[in-house]
């Protein structure tokens, strides 16, 4: 079931206290650039040749990178908590046949420049926010489930329901099961057992917990999941940063 549900009102929080949230940085610099290779949440992995290396940077990649950077400027004026959360991710254009759309490992936000160029500003910001909240929601790893695609659908629904509560418009293709709004990903996963054909439901991003199958020699790092849980707990304490439902979700992480 695909629902083009948009929020009736936009949530407009006050600005975050930057001093109070300085501990969120946890020693990580907030960078937006085309990276060569650095240690990611995947332990001891080989250099990821799908990244756009600085020596072979293309004009298209740089042009698209500027758009993702502009999302942060937009959020600084409309939803400051999103700008802050985005800055924990290194915006990383990728040129690789296995990363045809977008994904994240909790440290990088990967996007294919060719795919990015096909997006409207609203669709790109939606995906940007969607990937951020995969991190906040703890989707960097996954439980042992029988059906990975169904788990991806459940996680996408959980994230999109949170974006709806934040006042972020959902594109027409965004996955949302209205009767399941407020349910956890694992509850939605079990609910989807009754779906007549989940293959009809389309996901756009590569699920964070599935990146290991795209990056040889990569092993997910549980420390990154714990770090995002810590960040979720901290933003939940800021009364004007999030709507009540989203704050409670973050607090329960």
**Structure-token match 């509560």, residue found:** 165
| Burial degree of 197 (CB within 10 A; 0-12, 13-18, 19+) | exposed
Q: What strand order describes the sheet that includes 102-104?
A: 90-93, 108-111, 102-104
Closest CA to 11 of 251, 247, 250, 253: 247
CA–CA dist 180, 230 (Å, integer): 26
H or E stretch at 93: strand 90-93
Closest CA to 54 of 67, 44, 65, 42: 65
Write b or e for each residue in 64-99: b if 16 or more Cβ atoms lie within 10 A of its Cβ, otherwise e.
Answer: bbebbeebbeebeebbbbbbbbbbbbbbbbbbeeeb
91-109: pLDDT as tens digits: 999 876 668 999 999 999 9
Do residues 132 and 162 touch, judged by C-beta distance below 8 A? no
Q: What are phi and psi of 2, to 5 degrees?
A: -110, 135
Q: Can you give the pLDDT at residue 53?
A: 53
**Structure-token match 């020699």, residue found:** 217
Q: Can you give the pLDDT at residue 238?
A: 84
Tokens for 162? 């949170």
> 10-residue block means of pLDDT along the chain (253 residues)?
38 44 45 41 44 62 97 98 98 83 95 95 99 98 92 98 98 96 97 95 93 73 94 91 96 95
What percent of the residues of the chain are helix, what percent strand, and what percent coil, each to the nearest 5? 45, 5, 45
Closest CA to 112 of 91, 129, 126, 89: 91
Q: Where are the alpha helices (DSSP H) in 23-170?
A: 59-78, 80-86, 113-117, 121-136, 148-166
What is the model's pTM? Answer: 0.82
Q: List 111's β-bridge partners, or say none.
A: 93, 102
H or E stretch at 247: helix 244-252
35-51: pLDDT as tens digits: 433 334 444 344 344 55
């Amino acid at each position: 079931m695909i629902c083009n549900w948009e929020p009736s009102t936009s949530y407009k929080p006050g600005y975050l206290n930057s001093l109070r949230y300085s501990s969120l940085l946890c020693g990580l610099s907030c960078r937006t650039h085309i990276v060569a290779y650095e240690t990611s949440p995947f332990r001891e992995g080989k250099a990821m040749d799908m990244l756009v290396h600085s020596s072979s940077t293309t004009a298209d990649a740089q042009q698209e990178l500027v758009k993702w950077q502009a999302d942060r400027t937009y959020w600084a004026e409309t939803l400051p908590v999103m700008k802050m959360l985005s800055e924990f991710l290194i915006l990383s254009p990728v040129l690789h046949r296995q990363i045809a759309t977008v994904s994240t490992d909790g440290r990088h936000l990967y996007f294919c420049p060719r795919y990015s160029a096909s997006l409207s500003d609203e669709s790109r910001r939606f995906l940007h926010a969607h990937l951020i909240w995969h991190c906040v929601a703890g989707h960097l790893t996954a439980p042992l489930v029988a059906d990975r695609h169904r788990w991806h659908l459940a996680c996408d629904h959980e994230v999109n329901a949170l974006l709806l509560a934040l006042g972020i418009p959902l594109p027409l293709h965004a996955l949302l099961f209205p009767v399941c709004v407020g349910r956890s990903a694992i509850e939605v996963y079990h609910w989807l057992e009754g779906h007549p054909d989940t293959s009809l439901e389309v996901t756009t991003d590569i699920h964070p917990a599935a990146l290991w199958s795209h990056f040889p020699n990569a092993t997910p790092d549980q420390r990154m999941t714990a770090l995002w849980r810590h960040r979720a707990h901290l933003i939940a304490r800021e009364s004007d940063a999030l709507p009540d439902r989203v704050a409670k979700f973050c607090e329960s992480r």
